[in-house]
Amino acid sequence: MWPLVIYSVVCIFTQSQCTLNVLEERNDLLEKELAMMVGSEIKLSDSELKANEIIMKLKHDEIEHGFIHPNHFNLSKHFFEYKDEVKKTKLFQIIQSMPKGAVLHAHDTGLLSPDYMLALTYWKDLWFCWTEDKSNIEFHFSKTIPVNPCATEWKLMEKARNASGDVEKFDADLRKHFTIVIDNPHEVYTDVNAVWQKFQQCFITTGNLFNYKPVYEQYYYDTLLEFRKDQVMYLEIRSILPQLYDLDGNFFDAVETAVTYKRVTEKFMKDYPDFFGAKLIYAPLKLVDKATLQEYIRIALQVKTLLPEFLVGFDLVGQEDLGVPLREFIHELAEVREKLDLYLHAGETNWYGTSSDENLFDAIALGAKRIGHAFALIKHPLLMEEVKKRQIGLEMNVVSNSVLKLVEDPRNHPLATFLSQNMPVLLSSDDPGIWEALPMSHDFYVTFVAVASRHADLKLLKQLALNSLYYSSYHEKHKLVHAFQIRWTKFIDAIVKDKW
């Protein structure tokens, strides 16, 4: 007892010193933790420091208002409720103008808005067919009535629209098939399977609309245009490489579709020389047998032989909990990795110890260059260490994980921990068009305000953009980084001069 009494007496006489020691230790611990964060190694210039003051004032205002009035904090609500509202804020507009580096996780036909999709239905020679209960719709371009089976009857879109008596309502009903955005998501999307069913139906519905070769080419060109407009410099697009068709009865296989991607990319780069182009990751569906997988691999190697610089990797996609586990394909994937880099979806699940969760083990063992989502990685401390040691890029898709029911509140997203431990993370957007987000601005904004620490500042934003370049498959990364630094300097100058 005597030592405790003596200590208490000392503290009575030196209370201010005791308090000071505790505060010093507290601040020291905080500084050490912040020094572990993504972006902590970046040193800001004088101009960046001035810009940082402006940005952090805006960020702190939003967070502190939400802290005092949690019912008014937009980002704790469903994305559908705040996606348009946040666009009005000055902080969002600044982030929207920020150079964002590369997008390395984006799926072919899920990238542009439902309004864009609706505009495609004004193209000539488009026919459509309802299912019997009118819950779903199928499209096909043809000079005459399509020969494809139809549950009801094929109608020419132009005639049906004009005969509807209410074009505005006709288009509004049609638009619903191109988006998962609804007014009551919590009531309708009650679990992950429910929202994935609607999500996947969007791709099924638009299949033959997109697979018309002229539409496919225009859509991809306009995708590059929208990503460039959102300050993206470079894209690695995942595609299932669907068979395309034209009005003359010609069909174009997966290899020819890959060639189409390359040709449109080259045309876009000629039209917009400040864009650094795009590469292709062949990413067919994972809910298949081994014979189908072997056919996928044959196609991948054929495309790689024909387009060695354009096709950079291979992946398998689909709802992970319902897909075939990677361990079932270990032999086939282990063989192909010697010829083709793997960029694998893994851990896009809330489960722990299940096959979808343990896909993370397989992806790392297979030598994946990057892992898509890696949402469940937070539960595996050993794998987190392996990811850091092997420098495997983690493609994080915050808005996607929110709308597809992995996390209700982005403040609870595992990315918060990854950021705090300087994990090799990069931001991407998955399928932003289907939930009506901008190509990258929403994901950066939500990450900066809701996921990252209140203390995370301009250094984090800069590092995340740079990480997307470092973990890309672009061969001359120094050119990308140099161009990014020039754009970043202009961005900082605009903030300091308050051009918003």
CA distance 237 to 66: 36
The catalytic position among 348, 358, 395, 436 is: 348
Domain 79-112+213-495 architecture: Alpha-Beta Barrel (3.20)
Residue 373 is among the residues annotated as catalytic for this protein: yes
User: Quick check: helix, strand or coil at residue 236?
Assistant: strand
**Tokens representing residue 140 in the block:** 């096909």
Helical packing angle, 381-390 and 355-365, nearest 10° = 30
pLDDT at 409 over 90: yes
Q: Is the CB of residue 415 less than 8 Å from the CB of residue 61?
A: no
What pTM does this model have? Answer: 0.95
Confidence of residue 480 (pLDDT cuts 50, 70, 90): very high
pLDDT at 5 over 70: no
Cα distance between the two ends of the chain: 65
CA distance 127 to 387: 49
Instruction: Give 178's DSSP letter.
Output: G
Q: Over the stretch 271-295, which tens digit does the pLDDT of each residue have? A: 999 999 999 999 999 999 999 999 9
List for the chain the helix, strand, coil content (%; round to 5): 55, 10, 30
Task: Report the half-sphere exposure of 410 (CA within 13 A, side-chain side).
Answer: 29
CA distance 478 to 484: 10
The catalytic position among 373, 380, 413, 442 is: 373
CA distance 434 to 203: 9
Please report, for the chain, the start and end positions of each structural domain, with discontinuous segments joined by +: 79-112+213-495, 116-178
Taking all residues of the chain, what is their mean pLDDT, rounded to a whole number? 95
pLDDT at 7 over 60: no
Percent of the chain with pLDDT over 90: 93
Confidence of residue 9 (pLDDT cuts 50, 70, 90): very low
CA distance 368 to 313: 10
Q: Over the stretch 123-147, which tens digit does the pLDDT of each residue have? A: 999 999 998 888 899 999 999 999 9
Q: Over the stretch 423-479, which tens digit does the pLDDT of each residue have? A: 999 999 999 999 999 999 999 999 999 999 999 999 999 999 999 999 999 999 999
Q: What is the pLDDT of residue 414?
A: 98
Query: What value does the mean pLDDT take over residues 221-228?
Result: 98
Q: What is the pLDDT of residue 499?
A: 62
User: Quick check: helix, strand or coil at residue 128?
Assistant: strand
Percent of the chain with pLDDT over 70: 97
Q: Which of 321, 285, 83 is nearest to 195 (CA)?
A: 321
Residue 81 is among the residues annotated as catalytic for this protein: no
Confidence of residue 405 (pLDDT cuts 50, 70, 90): very high
User: Quick check: helix, strand or coil at residue 244?
Assistant: strand
CA distance 215 to 218: 5
Q: Is the CB of residue 234 less than 8 Å from the CB of residue 276?
A: yes
Q: What is the pLDDT of residue 363?
A: 98
Q: What is the pLDDT of residue 500?
A: 58
pLDDT at 22 over 50: yes
Confidence of residue 1 (pLDDT cuts 50, 70, 90): very low
Instruction: Give 389's DSSP letter.
Output: H
CA angle 111, 210, 213 (to 5 degrees): 120
